[in-house]
């Protein structure tokens, strides 16, 4: 009954992509439409002859943009082999050739011809002056490029790569291309721009002068002056890494090895950093310890001293980042601390070790990889953090803020921003590399499939006393800080007029009624809706890209899989600031011209948060036995059907988690966003930062509080949904047979 696909001569997928290519070339607007991706005004506005909206076919027919004409060739070629069998060698060759030629020509013309005609001098030299020009590519070009890509992958598949599996080959090709375009290309663009001189040439001297700048590497602080920003960032990151790891371990020990009764409350701590925009902690600290902060004022009153600005600088950043990132270290360490098999500890005790010796000689060494992991996460997060140094930094400059001021400040020096970003990237990549090199070879995971009956021993006394003291102090501090955030949003003007008021909420979120109906008159609505919209578009795409990548990594074997994995995980180690800088450098000129649109925000979120989707997907996919896929294949389903009907339904919890996580991250992110927002597309976080810079703390805090509650609702909804997703248990059926 089964008809083999290799004997059929009409392949619906192939027909679909050939058709898509023709539509992209003949029907869709070739260049980017100015008024936005989802606005369709172009349909009635001069289409299809107006140069701005015309499809490529019409442009060529009118004798414009003639360099697009050769694209017809690879479009026609696949039509000739439509009726051939899949196993036919010419079939595969024609598809590979037309796909590869079409795609590379498309890319080449995009880079070769820009706003000022030919981009490269040697092209002018070769073909003479070109008095035409082109802008960023649009829907038509995108669809055609996609079509070429998938023709190519189908050709590869027809030649027998990966068992001739079209879906898998296409997925690999697709992921590689998008990662190349949106991760590697911008980074490369950024690296190049570090070498560009003021008049547009290239020079190593430019790079060297910026790189060896004293403001970057100066060691003045050893002599009482100021140090370079690179050292500042490094020192800060190491300090924060150590403190967060230590505190994370303290909380993890309290949770797993003590009779502590409020463990659920402690668990809730882990949710906080996910739903809190990072700089909000900085704001709360200002309310407490700033020049007119409650604690500072009370302290000054009691001891009769002048309030100081001690918070602004290294101490403030360290406190804020520690508050913000300790839960992340905790999250890493709780898994590791629980993962130490109780039977190891029990074995040590039966071998005459007392509790303290057991902890020191067995438990702690087994936690070592987790400690390293937590430290490096704290390190990377601190390096990448932008909001807290901006709010609390004072004179303590760090790389991320310095990059920001190099781009948006009066100096406007893209080259300097690029050099700084490279240094930052170098630090985080080194950390990422060290982590992989060190942890890659060591696995101390001692939890096995076998039932482990033991329980973790309680902490020894000499450990539990300091641990509890620290945990209690820090826990109370966290509660106070979050309390301040909520309370602060109701105070009229902190430190000056302490009356409670709804004023800030009304300014931000008032709704008026006019004759046209509802009027969103609050100042924050615009950015709020943009944020929700961008986050809502980005979340499903992030989850999709992440899960497909995870599927390829766990389920398929192909050449170059390791570099594929490294490439997809790389954006995890790229700080948001670097993404932001590289995106504006790469995407404000053709061929991909999306700066200032909502698309660039969506894209930056997808690739910022993709590694999380990948990790979540890998974690849950490795729980699904591979024989499920295989049995589906032997039952005649192809791998697309298998993915859709077997893997996806079983991944529902992971999908939901990835969705909500990327939604929430998109709402709280600031470091990349601050570079990419525009007047039309302002995001909540950058709006809040703007308010802070204008010293409008009330509104900023009220808005932040609102965001926290919105995201709390999102996370709550997730838990509700995931809690219900369970696959049948043996409950009301007696086991038969």
Partner 1 sequence: MAQMQISSKAAPVSFRSVSKVFGKDVVAVDNIDLDVESGKLVTLLGPSGCGKTTTLRMIAGLEMATTGQILIGDKDVTILPATDRDVSMVFQSYALFPHLSVLENVSYGLGFSGFPKAEARDRARAGLDLVGLQGYDDRLPSELSGGQQQRVAVARALVLEPQVLLFDEPLSNLDAKLRRQVREDIRAIQQDLGLTVVYVTHDQEEALAVSDEIVVMRNAAVAQTGSPRELYDAPVDRFVADFIGEANIVPCDIVSVDGDLAEIVIDSYRYRLPSRGLTVGPASLAVRPSRLIIGVEDGFAATIAKATYVGIHMEYTLETAFGSIFAVQEDVDNPLQIGQSVAVGLASTGPVLIPGG
By CB under 8 A, tell whether 2 contacts partner 1. Answer: yes
What percent helix, strand, coil does the chain show, rounded to 5?
70, 5, 30
Member of 223, 264, 352, 729 binding partner 1 (CB under 8 A): 729
Integer Cα distance of 141 and 409 in angstroms:
35
Residue 91 Cβ, how far from partner 1 at the closest point, in Å? 14
Burial code (b: 16+ CB inside 10 Å, e: under 16) for 675-713 equals: bbbeeebbbbbbbbbebbeeebbbbbbbbbbbbbebbbe
The reply to whether 730 sits near partner 1 by the rule CB under 8 A is yes
Which region among 364-372, 409-417, 449-457, 727-735 touches partner 1 (by CB under 8 A)?
727-735
Compare residues 518 and 559 and give the one whose CB is closer to partner 1: 559
User: Residue 736, Cα to own-chain centre: how many angstroms?
Assistant: 49
Q: Does residue 737 touch partner 1 according to CB under 8 A?
A: yes
DSSP state for residue 2 in the 8-state scheme: P
Strand partners, 512: 519
Least Å distance, CB 620 to partner 1, is 13
Select the span of 305-313, 430-438, 480-488, 622-630 touching partner 1 (CB under 8 A): 622-630
Tell me whether the omega of the peptide bond preceding residue 48 falls within 30 degrees of 0, making it cis.
yes
Closest CA to 325 of 258, 375, 267, 392: 375
First to last CA, the chain: 33
Question: Per-residue string for binding with partner 1, 576-615, x by CB under 8 A?
Answer: ----------------------------------------
Q: Is 512 helix (H, G, I), strand (E, B) or coil?
A: strand
Q: Shortest gap between Cβ of 626 and partner 1 (angstroms)?
A: 9
Q: Does 682 engage in binding with partner 1 (CB under 8 A)?
A: no
Instruction: Tell me: does residue 628 bind partner 1 (CB under 8 A).
Output: yes
Q: Which stretch binds partner 1 (CB under 8 A): 266-274, 607-615, 656-664, 726-734?
A: 726-734
724 near partner 1, judged by CB under 8 A: no
User: Taking the CB of residue 581, how many other CB atoms lie within 10 A of it?
Assistant: 31
List the one residue from 633, 710, 715, 722 that touches partner 1 (CB under 8 A).
633
Beta strand segments in 630-715, E: none
Q: Give me the least distance between CB of 553 and partner 1, in Å please.
A: 18
Does 441 contact partner 1 by CB under 8 A? Answer: no
What 8-state DSSP symbol labels residue 181?
Answer: I
Structure tokens at 405: 């001021």
Sign of the CA dihedral with 564 first, then 569, 571, and 574 last: negative
Contact between 306 and partner 1 per CB under 8 A: no
Please state, in angstroms and rounded to a whole number, the distance separating the CA atoms of residues 496 and 494: 5
Query: Closer CB to partner 1, residue 267 or residue 652?
Result: 652
Does position 443 bind partner 1 by CB under 8 A? Answer: no
Where does residue 691 fall: left (phi above 0), alpha (psi -120 to 50 degrees), or beta otherwise? alpha
Interface with partner 1 (CB under 8 A), residue from 1, 126, 302, 679? 1
In the complex, the smallest distance separating the C-beta of residue 450 from partner 1, rounded to whole angstroms, is: 17
* Binding-site member from 199, 410, 625, 723 for partner 1 (CB under 8 A): 625
What is the DSSP secondary-structure string of 196-256? B-TTS-B-HHHHHHHHT-HHHH-BGGGGTS-B-HHHHHHHHHHHHHHHHHHHHHHHHHHHH
Contacting residue, 6, 124, 203, 694, with partner 1 by CB under 8 A: 6
164 vs 290 by CB, closer to partner 1: 164
For residue 208, state whether it binds partner 1 (rule: CB under 8 A).
no
User: Would you list the DSSP string of 27-72?
Assistant: TS-SBPPTT-TT--GGGGTTTTTSTTT--HHHHHHTT-SGGGGGGH
Q: How far is CA 34 from CA 139, 324, 593, in A?
A: 12, 40, 10
Contact segment (CB under 8 A) with partner 1 among 1-9, 68-76, 123-131, 351-359 equals 1-9
- How near is the Cβ of 8 to partner 1 at its closest, in Å? 10
The whole-angstrom separation of Cα 381 and Cα 236 is 11
Q: For 31, phi and psi rounded to 5 degrees?
A: -100, 160
Please state the closest distance from residue 630 (CB atom) to partner 1, in A: 5
CB-based contact 275:664 (threshold 8 Å): yes
Least spacing, CB of residue 727 vs partner 1, in Å: 5
Q: Which of 224, 627, 720, 723 binds partner 1 (CB under 8 A)?
A: 627
Interaction of residue 85 with partner 1, rule CB under 8 A: no
Number of residues that bind partner 1 (CB under 8 A): 37
| Distance separating alpha carbons of residues 112 and 103, to the nearest angstrom | 14
The distance of closest approach from Cβ of residue 2 to partner 1 in the complex, given in angstroms and rounded to an integer, is 5
Specify the residue, 341 or 639, whose C-beta has the smaller distance to partner 1: 639
Report angle CA 111, 113, 114 to the nearest 5 degrees.
Answer: 90
Residue 171 CB, nearest distance to partner 1 (Å)?
Answer: 16
Cα atoms in the 13 Å half-sphere on the side-chain side of 604: 35
Q: 637-656 mask for partner 1 (x: CB under 8 A)? A: xxx-x---xx--xx------
Cβ proximity to partner 1, 719 vs 725, nearer residue: 725
Residues 48, 52, 56, 59: is their CA dihedral positive or negative? Answer: positive
CB of 657 to partner 1, least distance (A): 18
Select the residue interacting with partner 1 from 5, 15, 219, 473 (CB under 8 A): 5
Angle, helices 72-80 vs 89-112, to 10°: value is: 170
- State in angstroms the smallest separation of the CB of 736 from partner 1: 6
**Could you say whether residue 87 binds partner 1 (CB under 8 A)?**
yes
Judged by beta carbon, residue 41 or residue 628, the one nearer partner 1 is 628
Residues 525-564 that bind partner 1 (CB under 8 A): none
CB of 3 to partner 1, least distance (A): 7
Residue of 214, 354, 630, 680 interacting with partner 1 (CB under 8 A): 630
636 binds partner 1 (CB under 8 A): yes
Residue 278 vs residues 235, 281, 386, 578, 705: alpha-carbon distances, Å: 20, 6, 8, 17, 12
Of the residues 201, 259, 304, 728, which one makes contact with partner 1 according to CB under 8 A? 728
Encoding tokens for residue 581?
């800088």
What is the smallest separation between the CB atom of 628 and partner 1, expressed in angstroms?
5
DSSP-derived letter for residue 137 is B
- Please count the CA atoms within 13 angstroms of the CA of 709 that sit on its side-chain side: 8
733 near partner 1 (CB under 8 A): yes
Could you say whether residue 3 binds partner 1 (CB under 8 A)?
yes
Mark residues 141-170: x for contact with partner 1 by CB under 8 A, - for none. -------------------x--xxx-----
Question: 634 vs 165, 295, 556, 637, 649, CA distance in Å?
Answer: 14, 69, 16, 7, 19
Residue 186 near residue 425, CB atoms below 8 Å: no
Q: Which of these ranges, 39-47, 113-121, 516-524, 621-629, lies near partner 1 under the rule CB under 8 A?
A: 621-629
Question: Rounded distance, CA 421 to CA 576, Å?
Answer: 10
> Between residues 524 and 547, which has the closer beta carbon with respect to partner 1?
547
Binding residues (CB under 8 A) for partner 1: these are: 1-6, 87, 160, 163-165, 625, 627-628, 630-639, 641, 645-646, 649-650, 727-730, 733, 735-737
């Amino acid at each position: 009954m089964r008809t083999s696909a290799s004997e059929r001569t009409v392949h619906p997928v192939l027909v679909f992509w050939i058709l898509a290519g023709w539509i992209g070339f003949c029907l869709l607007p070739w260049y980017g439409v100015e008024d936005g991706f989802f606005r369709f005004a172009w349909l009635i506005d001069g289409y299809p002859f107006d140069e701005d909206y015309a499809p490529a076919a019409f442009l060529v027919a009118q004798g414009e943009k003639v360099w697009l004409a050769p694209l017809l060739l690879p479009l026609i070629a696949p039509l000739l082999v439509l009726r051939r069998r899949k196993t036919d060698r010419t079939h595969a060759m024609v598809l590979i050739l037309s796909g590869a030629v079409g795609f590379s020509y498309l890319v080449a013309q995009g880079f070769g011809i820009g706003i000022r005609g030919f981009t490269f001098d040697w092209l002018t030299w070769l073909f003479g002056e070109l008095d035409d020009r082109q802008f960023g590519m649009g829907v038509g070009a995108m669809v055609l490029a996609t079509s070429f890509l998938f023709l190519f992958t189908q050709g590869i598949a027809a030649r027998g790569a990966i068992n001739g599996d079209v879906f898998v080959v296409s997925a690999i090709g697709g992921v590689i291309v998008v990662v190349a375009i949106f991760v590697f290309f911008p980074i490369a663009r950024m690296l190049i721009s570090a070498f560009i001189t003021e008049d547009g040439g290239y020079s190593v001297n430019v790079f060297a002068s910026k790189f060896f700048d004293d403001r970057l590497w100066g060691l003045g602080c050893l002599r009482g002056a100021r140090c370079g920003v690179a050292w500042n960032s490094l020192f800060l990151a190491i300090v924060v890494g150590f403190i967060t790891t230590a505190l994370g371990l303290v909380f993890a020990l309290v949770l797993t090895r003590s009779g502590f009764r409020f463990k659920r409350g402690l668990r809730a701590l882990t949710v906080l950093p996910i739903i809190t925009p990072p700089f909000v902690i900085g704001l709360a600290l200002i309310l407490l310890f700033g020049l007119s902060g409650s604690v500072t004022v009370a302290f000054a009153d009691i001891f009769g001293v002048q309030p100081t600005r001690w918070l602004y600088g290294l101490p403030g950043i360290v406190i804020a980042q520690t508050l913000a990132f300790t839960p992340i270290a905790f999250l890493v360490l709780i898994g590791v601390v629980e993962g130490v098999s109780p039977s190891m500890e029990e074995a040590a005790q039966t071998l005459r070790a007392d509790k303290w010796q057991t902890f020191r000689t067995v438990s702690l060494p087994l936690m070592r990889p987790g400690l390293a992991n937590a430290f490096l996460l704290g390190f990377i997060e601190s390096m990448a953090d932008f909001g807290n140094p901006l709010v609390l930094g004072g004179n303590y400059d760090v790389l991320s803020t310095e990059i920001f001021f190099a781009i948006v400040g009066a100096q406007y020096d893209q080259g300097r921003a690029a050099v700084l970003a490279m240094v930052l990237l170098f630090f985080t990549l080194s950390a990422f590399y060290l982590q992989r090199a060190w942890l890659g070879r060591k696995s101390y995971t001692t939890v096995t499939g076998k039932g482990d009956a033991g329980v973790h021993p309680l902490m020894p006394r000499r450990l539990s006393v300091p641990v509890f003291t620290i945990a209690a102090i820090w826990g109370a501090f966290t509660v106070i800080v979050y309390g301040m955030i909520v309370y602060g949003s109701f105070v009229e003007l902190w430190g000056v007029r302490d009356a409670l008021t709804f004023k800030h909420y009304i300014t931000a979120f008032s709704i008026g009624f006019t004759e046209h109906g509802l009027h969103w008159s609050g100042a924050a609505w615009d950015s709020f809706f943009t944020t929700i919209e961008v986050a809502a578009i980005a979340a499903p795409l992030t989850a999709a890209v992440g899960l497909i990548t995870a599927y390829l990594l766990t389920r398929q074997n192909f050449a170059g899989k390791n570099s594929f994995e490294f490439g997809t995980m790389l954006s995890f180690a790229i700080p948001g600031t670097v993404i932001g800088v590289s995106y504006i450098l790469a995407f404000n000129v053709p061929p991909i011209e999306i700066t200032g649109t909502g698309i660039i925000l969506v894209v930056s979120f997808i690739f910022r948060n993709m590694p999380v989707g990948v990790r979540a997907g890998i974690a849950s996919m490795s729980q699904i036995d591979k024989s499920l896929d295989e049995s589906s294949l032997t039952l005649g389903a192809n791998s697309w059907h298998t993915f859709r009907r077997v893997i996806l339904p079983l991944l529902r919890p992971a999908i939901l988690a990835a969705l909500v996580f990327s939604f929430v991250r998109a709402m709280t992110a600031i470091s990349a966003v601050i570079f990419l927002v525009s007047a039309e597309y302002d995001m909540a976080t950058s709006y809040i930062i703007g308010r802070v810079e204008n010293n409008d703390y009330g509104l900023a805090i009220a808005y932040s509080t609102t965001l926290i509650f919105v995201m709390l609702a999102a996370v709550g909804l997730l838990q509700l949904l995931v809690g219900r997703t369970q696959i049948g248990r043996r409950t009301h059926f007696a086991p038969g047979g």
